[in-house]
Amino acid sequence: FKSLCLRDLLVYAEAMDAEVYFYRDKDGLEADAIVQAADGTWAGIEIKLGHNQADQAAANLLKLKDRIQAAGGKAPAFLAVLEGIGGFATTRRDGVHIVPIRTLGA
């Protein structure tokens, strides 16, 4: 599932002249995908099969955002959890988007 999602992200990123990266730091903090535009604008994305993993994925993305900003980096354009199961996209109170894979490109 993760490979399928990354493939889709790569296709959309290429159309926008952006790159897709994996993030992992020395402390073990990871993000499944960082999409970065040529101007340095970035977004963090976690990929999870089920919605039951959304809370932990969102917390991880928020930790990543805080760490990058504390080091002097830009705030992300958005943070999102890309899910395999779900009916519609929504935004959590903390600002992290929950996006079912079937809504990409819709």
Q: Is the pLDDT of residue 23 over 80?
A: yes
User: What pLDDT sits at residue 30?
Assistant: 93
Domains defined for the chain, CATH in brackets: 2-103 (3.40.1350.10)
Q: Which of 17-21, 38-42, 53-57, 101-105 has the lowest mean pLDDT?
A: 101-105
For the sheet containing 30-37, what is the strand order? 18-24, 30-37, 42-48, 78-83, 97-100, 90-91
Q: What pLDDT, on the 0 to 100 scale, is given for residue 78?
A: 97
Q: By the 8 A CB rule, do 32 and 41 touch?
A: no
